[in-house]
Amino acid sequence: MTRIAFVGAGSVVFTRQLLHDLLRVPELAEVEVALHDVDADRLDTARRTAEHLAARTGTAPVVTATTDRAAALDGADFVVNMVQVGGIDATRTDFEVPARFGLRQTIGDTLGVGGVFRALRTFPVLTAIADDMTRVCPEAHLLNYTNPMAMNMWWLSETAPQVRAVGLCHSVYWTVHDLSELLGVPVEEVAYRAAGVNHQAWLLEWSHRGEDLYPRLRERVAADPELRRRVRVDMFRRLGWYPTETSEHSSEYVPWYLHDDAEVERLRIPVGDYLGISEDNVREYEHTREVLDAGGELDLPDEVAEYAPQVIRAMTLGEEVTIHGNVPNRGLVDNLPEGACVEVPCTVDAAGIHPQPMGSLPPQCAALNHAFLDVAGLTVRAALEEDPLMIRQAVLVDPNTSATLAVDDVFAMCDALVEAHGDLLPEWARVRVSV
């Protein structure tokens, strides 16, 4: 029986989506599901959600729930990681402290000061998961959803290369889905490939029955002034290639927009958007718990879009599927740094996950990816060397931060975040730095 461990299962809404997708596959309906979270209340809600899904789908998975991570991982074939260290309180800190210094963020989970400090909180947990996997399920595949994706997967490749890991994110799929819908083309009929880094990959191929869809997209954008009032449409017009993450995300990975009031207004950038999203997630969790307490029925999504169920199905049943995964750059993208985490198409079958070499990116796209990876690489190096000064250096070279703040303010902001996060950070990182 296939055993799937969910780490951070207290992310109940996401757990529900993944489990529902899994249980709709008849051959996987009797899987063993091991749920883990450090929050006992959330874990209990996740367990009840799984049992509710089993009853609704008429399936019989073996569901266990435990706060003991090693016990959950023991004998697992797949480990799905969706941990958010510090929860919503840490997210508020990542936004509120930088805002006092005048730094705008939209999502703050991937790059910039929010991404750097989220990575520093997460790396020790990833190491602990990898250590447990090495002891109790050394052949398992780690399917990581936790952000900052590029930093986390780079960290794992440096510190736990023995763990078979891939980072999964739905951004490429939903980009293609939404663009195809914009043009009135069925997404199931299009062919596409993207490459770059997670949340800043580039749609390099996109066609419908052999027709390149980019000319039609350019015509559609040229005809719609309101459509042009979005960050990634603006980036597409200027760079020639469409980025694979939302405008909210994309705005904070470049130095062009967030520091400028006029650009924020022109492109309708929702500053602080992730705070509202996080609050909505808390409300959705509370609603889920209330529905279960009352014996009601949860809303179940219709569309299967997440990659983890597809990966598990392909590897377990011997089918073949192509996804976009985040893996170390071992000859995959020629003009991005070797060893950095890149996002590329991957074929998945019974033998494993096979990343596809993509050659070189368009040079203007690679240039932006290099700036992104400079921040990620310095953050990983800071943790490897336990160097608190390098944390500040990572934030200094961040495009949005460097376009907004003076150097002294960057250091002061990092000191304030260290103090605010306290023991959520590793001990070596909890020091002020004088220069």
The pLDDT tens digits for 318-367 are: 999 999 999 999 999 999 999 999 999 999 999 999 999 999 999 999 99
- Tell me which of 14-23, 69-78, 139-148, 216-225 is least confident: 14-23
| Percent of the chain residues past pLDDT 90, beyond the cut | 86
| For helices 407-421 and 388-396, angle between their N-to-C axes, nearest 10 degrees | 130
**What is the chain's percent helix, strand, coil content, to nearest 5?**
50, 15, 30
Mean pLDDT across the stretch 35-42? 95
**Residue 1's pLDDT is what?**
84
Q: Tell how far CA 136 is from the center of its chain.
A: 26
Task: Please report the pLDDT score of residue 304 as a whole number.
Answer: 60
DSSP count for the chain of H helices, then E strands = 17, 13
Integer Cα distance of 337 and 325 in angstroms:
17
Question: Residue 418 above 90 pLDDT?
Answer: yes
pLDDT of residue 264: 98
Residue 302 confidence (pLDDT): 67
Q: How confident is the model over 158-172, as pLDDT tens digits? A: 999 999 999 999 999
pLDDT digits (tens, 9 = 90+) for 204-252: 999 999 999 999 999 999 999 999 999 999 999 999 999 999 999 999 9
In angstroms, the CA 144 to CA 142 distance is 6
Nearest residue to 296 (alpha-carbon basis) of 89, 55, 46, 104: 55
CA 171 to the chain's CA centroid: 9
Whether 1 and 15 have beta carbons less than 8 Å apart is answered as no
Amino acid at 251: S
Q: Which residue pairs, CB below 8 angstroms and at least 24 apart, start in 219-227?
A: 220/182, 220/183
| pTM for the model | 0.96
Active-site annotation holds for 170 = yes
- Distance, CA of 227 to CA of 126 (rounded, Å): 40
What distance lies between CA 385 and its chain's CA centroid? 25
Would the pLDDT of 301 be above 80? no
Q: Is 119 helix (H, G, I), strand (E, B) or coil?
A: helix
Query: CA-to-CA distance for 419 and 431, rounded, in angstroms?
Result: 8
Q: What is the pLDDT of residue 258?
A: 98
The CA-based angle 151-154-158, given to 5 degrees, is: 135
Beta bridge partners of 192: 206
**pLDDT exceeds cutoff 90 at 435:** no
Give the single-character DSSP code of 146: P
Which whole-number Å values give the CA distances from 216 to 184, 208, 225, in the listed order?
11, 11, 16
- For 263-300, the pLDDT digits (tens) are 999 999 999 999 999 999 999 889 999 999 888 888 87
Q: What is the rounded CA–CA span in Å between residue 376 and residue 199?
A: 13
Q: How far apart are CA 63 and CA 356, in angstroms?
A: 35
Which residue in the list 52, 141, 170, 287 is annotated as catalytic?
170
Contact 365, 202 (CB under 8 A): yes
For range 31-42, the mean pLDDT: 95
How far is residue 182's CA from residue 185's CA, in Å, rounded to a whole number?
A: 8
List 326's β-bridge partners, or say none: 167, 343
Distance between alpha carbon 239 and the CA centroid of its chain, in Å? 24
Give the position of tokens 């603006």. 234
